[in-house]
């Protein structure tokens, strides 16, 4: 079985943290000077920070959940909540289940009471609180007071940079989904004040700039000490993503920031990452061996179990007839995720699905493409797409049929190539059209196995980039922010707004208000923080 350097973190996670819907401070029942007298204690705590992105509580796969506002602990997985929020309100996919609030994500009819809106918010704030607490107990003064060796102090400096990276990542998600949330950097009883989108944007960029020297150098593939951990490569990618979306967050455009995006992407490219030879190997049980992945959220079917993460991504996509155990390495599917007809169109050529494109895994046997009014009660509406598997490239099932070994590739090289081309087309002075074309065709050649689908300069446009991002990055939690950035998501786009199945709770889709580009702040949060004002439109 794989296991990651990070799994030493996962195996020794702290077991003394809990959280409720109105209380996102980590609790520790032991005194800091008892806990933090050796480097292993800081490694354990750092593991909890990483684990907060994938695990749901203290007893896997469920038990002693980190947040208590849900009746299914699997809903409380950070990456599961993030994945649903980035995908279900778009032209990519829907979930046919009837759990309270999930159809509101499909229909874009959520409110500040929606449990999934609340879960994502509190997951983000919980991770931020953990990071703040870790930083509080690992200051130079604390290390010296606890008698930590000089050698360990140097390594803990890197751990602190990783914690600040994870906090910046969580704050990016908060900025992206809720926009006007407090900037909290210390555990305090003081009621925090609300921040604006531009203020939060500046905070994230400044944090990343400050910690860059202290993070580990990028590593390619699995085997070194940093797989599954934040390195300079992960930082460059996060900073590039935040800046590529700067117009959304700051409500003004700066050509110089597109130059910055290219600079960071070039740093990543120069590390030497390479495209995975077979596309689907990026999403299988031994995808930790890929030289394409820049930053992954690690999963292990034996040692880090939850009902969220990639276990959800594998099993929720499987329906009857998809041979869950033999082809996907799991003990059954959950019959949940179905694709929209508009998503299917991305893989059509001359009116039929193009299976020469290796990325197309649409399952149609015994299914109808239309998503009818009965989609919640019938198991055959909509195509399925089993992109993630718990089977290795050699066809061997993962270590557990209930929980998967498949890592979530949060940042990878193909996205770098697509972002490079986009920033170039948006006006980056240091971007190059010919280089962009080469990068895009490298993605196409991987998908088709030859040059038959390559494009030429005349095809190079922002519309093409958006479509290709849809084909290359589907089910990887990019689509909502992509549609917003390309001005296609809501009525803000005017005639350019895309319409898809069940958008606005209409079977054929309708235009929706631009206030839906961000979520409401949960009503429960407004009830305990008088400094917060609800987002416009809610």
Tokens of 190: 């003081």
Among 57-71, 201-215, 219-233, where is mean pLDDT lowest?
57-71
d(CA 278, CA 395): 14
Tell me the CA end-to-end span of the chain in Å, nearest whole number: 48
Across the range 242-266, mean pLDDT stands at 98
Q: Could you report the per-residue pLDDT of 300-359, keeping only the tens digit for each?
A: 998 888 888 999 999 999 999 999 999 999 999 999 999 999 999 999 999 999 999 999
Whole-number pLDDT of residue 34? 52
Residue 342 to residue 439: CA distance in whole angstroms? 26
pLDDT at residue 59 tops 80 = no
Among 253, 249, 245, 239, residue whose Cα is nearest residue 196: 249
Arithmetic mean of pLDDT over the chain: 92
Over residues 515-537, the mean pLDDT reads: 97
Q: pTM of the entire structure? A: 0.94
3-state secondary structure of 123: helix
Q: Tokens 């990343």 sit at which residue?
A: 208
The string of pLDDT tens digits covering residues 442-453 is: 999 999 999 999
Please write the tens of the pLDDT for every residue from 99-119: 999 999 999 999 999 999 999
**Per residue in 43-53, pLDDT tens?**
999 999 999 99
List, in order of start, the domains of the chain with CATH numbers. Answer: 6-90+109-299+408-528 (1.25.40.390)
Q: Which among 247, 246, 244, 249 has a CA at the least distance from the CA of 261?
A: 244
- Flag whether pLDDT at 8 surpasses 60: no
What is d(CA 373, CA 221) in angstroms, rounded to the nearest whole number? Answer: 46
- Is the pLDDT at 80 greater than 80, yes or no? yes
DSSP states along 345-413? HTTEETTEE-TTSTT--EE-TT-BS---TTTTT-SSBSBEE----SB-TTS-B-S-SSS----EEEEEH
């Amino acid at each position: 079985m794989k296991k990651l350097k990070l799994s030493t973190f996962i195996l020794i996670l702290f077991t003394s943290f809990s959280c409720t819907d109105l209380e996102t401070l980590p609790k520790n029942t032991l005194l800091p000077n008892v806990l933090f007298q050796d480097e292993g204690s800081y490694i354990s705590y750092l593991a909890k920070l990483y684990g907060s992105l994938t695990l749901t509580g203290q007893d896997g796969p469920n038990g002693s959940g980190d947040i208590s506002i849900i009746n299914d602990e699997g809903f409380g997985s950070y990456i599961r909540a993030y994945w649903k929020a980035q995908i279900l309100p778009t032209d990519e996919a829907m979930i046919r289940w009837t759990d309270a609030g999930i159809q509101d994500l499909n229909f874009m009819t959520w409110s500040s009471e929606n449990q999934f809106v609340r879960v994502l918010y509190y997951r983000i704030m919980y991770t931020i609180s953990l990071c703040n607490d870790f930083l509080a107990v690992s200051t130079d003064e604390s290390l010296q007071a606890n008698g930590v060796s000089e050698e360990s102090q140097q390594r803990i400096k890197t751990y602190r940079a990783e914690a600040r990276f994870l906090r910046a990542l969580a704050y990016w998600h908060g900025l992206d989904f809720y926009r006007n949330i407090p900037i909290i950097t210390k555990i305090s009883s003081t009621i925090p004040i609300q921040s604006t989108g531009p203020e939060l944007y500046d905070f994230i960029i400044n944090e990343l700039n400050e910690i860059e020297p202290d993070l580990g150098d990028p590593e390619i593939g699995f085997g070194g000490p940093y797989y599954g951990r934040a390195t300079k490569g992960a930082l460059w990618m996060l900073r590039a993503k935040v800046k590529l979306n700067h117009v959304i967050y700051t409500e003004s455009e700066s050509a110089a920031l597109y130059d910055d995006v290219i600079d960071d992407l070039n740093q990543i490219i120069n590390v030497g990452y390479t495209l995975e030879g077979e596309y689907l190997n990026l999403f299988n049980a031994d995808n930790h061996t890929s030289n394409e992945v820049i930053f992954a959220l690690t999963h292990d079917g034996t040692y880090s179990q939850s009902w969220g993460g990639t276990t959800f991504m594998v099993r929720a996509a499987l329906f009857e007839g998809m041979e869950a155990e033999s082809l996907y390495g799991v003990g059954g599917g959950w019959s949940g995720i179905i694709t929209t007809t508009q998503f299917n169109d991305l893989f059509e050529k001359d009116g039929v699905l193009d299976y020469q494109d290796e990325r197309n895994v649409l399952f149609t046997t015994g299914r109808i493409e239309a998503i009818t009014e009965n989609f919640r009660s019938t198991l055959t509406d909509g195509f399925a797409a089993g992109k993630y598997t718990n089977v290795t490239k050699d066809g061997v099932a993962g270590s557990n049929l209930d929980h998967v070994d498949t890592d979530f590739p949060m940042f990878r090289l193909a996205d770098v190539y697509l972002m490079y081309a986009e920033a170039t087309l948006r006006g980056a002075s240091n971007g190059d059209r010919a280089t962009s074309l080469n990068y895009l065709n490298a993605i196409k050649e991987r998908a088709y196995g030859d040059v038959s689908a390559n494009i030429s300069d005349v095809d190079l446009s922002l519309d093409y980039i958006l479509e290709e991002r849809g084909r290359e990055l589907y089910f990887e939690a990019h689509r909502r922010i992509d549609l917003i950035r390309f001005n296609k998501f809501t009525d803000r786009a005017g005639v350019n707004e895309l319409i898809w199945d069940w958008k606005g709770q209409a079977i054929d889709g309708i235009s929706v208000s631009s206030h839906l580009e961000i979520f409401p702040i949960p009503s429960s949060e407004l009830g305990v923080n008088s400094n917060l004002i609800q987002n416009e439109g809610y």
